[in-house]
Each structure stands twice: as structure tokens, then as C-alpha cells.
């Protein structure tokens, strides 16, 4: 996808800068002298982020089975990489300061897609589960930015979600000259995410890429393919099913991941069952 001519179009759209706390956290995690207390101390600097991390950490789909009461507990029980992803989630939602019921549903969808991607990575293999979580969380982060900028964008989004033929991002670009994939790519780069994640975000609706290994590396291919599966799991679980993308991508995802379409369906159905069971158990 050519993004060389995007600068003029993106005037008026603010890409949130990488929060300082995230840079410090990632530097600490990469340090050979990584320290649980330092990680917990960094997160506790922002009460809102700390509360959001604990709330998400206690989700029945993420939690360790024990009630997490503090950031120290979360760091000790969940591990550094998952904690980093929970911080990214809290910071992303805070940085894109939007409100409204539809965007609450958007954040729910992003969270459940990320969780599903992490779980599916363990089933499918050959992709890092924490990277899959990051990809699931960030892949659609351009949507609220476009919602802020263009009053008519929700109608464009509805049309793209319902179309079963055209490429999703082509519909956006024909209407407003850019797409949520392009904005997501810029934000992911600004926040220092891995190249496979940024390139995957840029191309995550172009399923022809999955059948052509010349343009993207294998990790980006698998992130895109896995995320399509995660999205149908999340949308089915949340009862917001829009399966246009699944129908468009299913054959290409099958080829990329080395499963038959029927085998993919079985994996997806099993993951939906696990999600439903976890939530039912938490409610009882």
C-alpha cells in the first residue's frame, strides 16, 4: 500500500505521541537487570493506568485464577510481557480520548480480539502470543481517530463492514482519501511497535497479501491471518457478529496458516466456546 501521498490528507488528524511511561516501561523490560519492583513502581505513577491494568488483569479471560489486588501482584503473576500489553491498552484508550457507546463497544472488541489472538497463537503456533495480543489491540486503532476527524465516518464504517466484495480499506480511501489501516500504521510506528506489527496493521485488510510472500515477512502474514480468526471469535462472543471480513479472508487465512477451511472453523468454534464458558463461569 502506497502511503507516500498521505501527509496532506492526514492534516487535522492528530497521531497521539508515545507516552513517556510506555517508553520507560519498555526500556526497563528490555534491561538485563529487569526488576519487578521497578516495573510496578513505573505503573503506579499513573493511578488511572494502574487501576485499568488491575481491572483487565482480573478479567476471567486473562486472570490467573486468583484475585489480583495490586500492581505488584499483577507483575508477579502475569509476567512482564502481558503486563506491558495491559499498560499499552490503558494508554491507548487514554491517548485517544473519545466517548460514546459505540466507542465503548470498539474498545471491548479490541480487548477481546487481542485476548483471542493471544490464545489462538498458542493453538496455531509459529507466532509469539504477546505479539499477537499487541496486534489485536492496535490493528483497528485508526478507527476512533477517523471517527473524531470525519462526522460521516460512522456511515463509511457501516458500509465497509457490510460489504462482502470490496477491500475494506478501499471503501474508506474512496470516501475520505485515507484509511484506519494507514492511521494505525502511523500510530504503531510512533509508539515503537515491531516492524511485523506495523506492516501487518497497514495491510490487515488486504488478504491477497497472504497468498503472496514477496511483500510482507512471514510474521506479518501470520499476524494478519491470526487476527482475522480472533476478530470473528470476539464479534461472535460479543454478539456483534459481522462476518463479511471472515468470508472474504477465510480461504487466504487457511492457505497462510496451513489448515483446511473446515479445520479453521473448528478452531474458531472451540475458541468461542472457551470464551463463553469463561464468562459464564465468572457470572456464576
Cα–Cα distance between 201 and 138 in angstroms, integer? 8
Model confidence at 220: pLDDT above 70: yes
DSSP state of 102: H
First to last CA, the chain: 48
Q: Which of 5-9, 163-167, 190-194, 264-268 has the lowest mean pLDDT?
A: 5-9
Torsion angle, alpha carbons of 97, 103, 109, 110, to 10: -20
Q: What is the pLDDT of residues 87-118, one digit of tens each?
A: 999 999 888 876 555 678 899 999 999 999 99
Q: What is the pLDDT of residues 241-277, one digit of tens each?
A: 778 899 999 999 999 999 999 999 999 999 999 999 8
Instruction: Find out whether 87 and 75 touch, Cβ atoms under 8 Å.
Output: no
| Confidence grade of residue 281 (pLDDT, cut at 50, 70, 90) | low
Better-scored residue on pLDDT, 283 or 74:
74
What is the pLDDT, as a whole number, of residue 1?
45
Domains of the chain plus CATH, in order, are 17-95 (no CATH), 99-284 (1.10.3210.10)
User: Which whole number is the average pLDDT over 163-184?
Assistant: 93
Instruction: Find out whether 80 and 34 touch, Cβ atoms under 8 Å.
Output: yes
Handedness of CA 160, 164, 168, 172 (dihedral sign): negative
**Closest to 226 (Cα-Cα) out of 244, 202, 200:** 200
Kindly write down the DSSP assignment for every residue of 221-260, as one continuous string: HHHHHHHHHHHHHHHHHTT----HHHHHHHHHHHHHHT--
Mean pLDDT of all residues belonging to the chain = 89
User: Which whole number is the average pLDDT over 202-218?
Assistant: 86
What pTM does this model have?
0.91
Three-class SS state of 160 = helix
Max mean pLDDT among 29-38, 55-64, 68-77, 130-139 falls in 130-139
Residue 246: all three cell numbers together? 471472515
Instruction: Find out whether 73 and 39 touch, Cβ atoms under 8 Å.
Output: no
Instruction: Find out whether 182 and 202 touch, Cβ atoms under 8 Å.
Output: yes
Amino acid at each position: 500500500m502506497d502511503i507516500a501521498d498521505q501527509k496532506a490528507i492526514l492534516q487535522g488528524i492528530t497521531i497521539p505521541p508515545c507516552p513517556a511511561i510506555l517508553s520507560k516501561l519498555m526500556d526497563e523490560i528490555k534491561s538485563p537487570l529487569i526488576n519487578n519492583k521497578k516495573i510496578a513502581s513505573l505503573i503506579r505513577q499513573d493511578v488511572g493506568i494502574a487501576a485499568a491494568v488491575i481491572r483487565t488483569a482480573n478479567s476471567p479471560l486473562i486472570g490467573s485464577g486468583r484475585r489480583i489486588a495490586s500492581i505488584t501482584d499483577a507483575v508477579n503473576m502475569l509476567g512482564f510481557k502481558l503486563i506491558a500489553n495491559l499498560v499499552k491498552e490503558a494508554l491507548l484508550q487514554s491517548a485517544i480520548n473519545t466517548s460514546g457507546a459505540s466507542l465503548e463497544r470498539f474498545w471491548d472488541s479490541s480487548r477481546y480480539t487481542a485476548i483471542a489472538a493471544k490464545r489462538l497463537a498458542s493453538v496455531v503456533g509459529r507466532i509469539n502470543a504477546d505479539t499477537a495480543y499487541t496486534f489485536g489491540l492496535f490493528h483497528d486503532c485508526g478507527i476512533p481517530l477517523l471517527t473524531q476527524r470525519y462526522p460521516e465516518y460512522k456511515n463509511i464504517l457501516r458500509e465497509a463492514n457490510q460489504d462482502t466484495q470490496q477491500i475494506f480499506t478501499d471503501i474508506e480511501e474512496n470516501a475520505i482519501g485515507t484509511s484506519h489501516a494507514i492511521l494505525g500504521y502511523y500510530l504503531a510506528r510512533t509508539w515503537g511497535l515491531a516492524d511485523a506489527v506495523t506492516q501487518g496493521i497497514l495491510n490487515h485488510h488486504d488478504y491477497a497479501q497472504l497468498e503472496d510472500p514477496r511483500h510482507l515477512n512471514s510474521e506479518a502474514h501470520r499476524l494478519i491471518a491470526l487476527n482475522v480468526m480472533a476478530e470473528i471469535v470476539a464479534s461472535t462472543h460479543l454478539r456483534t457478529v459481522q462476518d463479511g471480513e471472515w468470508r472474504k479472508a477465510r480461504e487466504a487465512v487457511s492457505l497462510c496458516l496451513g489448515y483446511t477451511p473446515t479445520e479453521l472453523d473448528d478452531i474458531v468454534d472451540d475458541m468461542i466456546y472457551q470464551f463463553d464458558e469463561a464468562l459464564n463461569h465468572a457470572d456464576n
